Amino acid sequence: MVSLDHLNGEKVIVAKPNHSSTWRHNLWLLAALAIPSLGAGVGFALAGAWPILPLAGIELAALGGALYWVNWKLEYRHVIRVGDDVITVDKGYFVPKRTWHFTRDQSALRVVPEPHHWQGPALSVHDRMSETRVGEFLNREETLELLGYLRDELRIRTHSRDSALKA
């Protein structure tokens, strides 16, 4: 998902993966699966087959852990702030984990065409000293939307095939 907002004279572009479900919905799913699973486990335990109950608990704990891990991974985002003099790219989950600062007049956008028509182009913001890729987790339509937002703010200095894609 890509969104554009204006905040304190800056354009703020937020790119984040699509969520199929919220954490609250995942908890409801886990509870809906826990009731029959633990109910059957208790029934078997009362009938003398007690190993079923711990296995049902392990199964639910594994499912809960997997749901939590996927939900946490989907909180990753790129926040691109475009000011009059500086372009800032923040990457992280809930707070910025890494930050890049680019001088506006020295920065540009690198566009590497997609290797397959289902994928979007690879986008990177760069200057003479550093470069960072943005929106690599987006689908084709969202990548093209991000490209449109960035094209309005940055010049495209490099538009070529990546050497890694040729090999």
pLDDT digits (tens, 9 = 90+) for 70-91: 999 899 999 999 999 999 999 9
Q: Which residues contact 67 (CB under 8 A, 6 or more apart)?
A: 26, 29, 30
Token pair belonging to 24: 């609250």
Whole-prediction pTM: 0.77
Question: What is the per-residue pLDDT across 5-46, written as a single tens digit (0 to 9) for each?
Answer: 998 889 999 999 988 888 899 999 999 999 999 999 999 999
Give the helix/strand (H/E) hosting 2.
strand 2-7
Position 114, amino acid: E
Q: Are residues 92 and 148 in the same domain?
A: yes
Q: Are residues 95 and 13 in the same domain?
A: yes
Residue range(s) defining the domain that contains residue 79? 2-18+75-166
Q: Are residues 48 and 36 in the same domain?
A: yes
Q: Are residues 12 and 92 in the same domain?
A: yes
CATH number, domain at 115?
Answer: 2.30.29
Does the pLDDT at position 115 exceed 90? Answer: no
Total count of domains within the chain: 2
Average pLDDT over residues 93-111: 93
The whole-angstrom separation of Cα 79 and Cα 7 is: 12
Q: Are residues 93 and 106 in the same domain?
A: yes
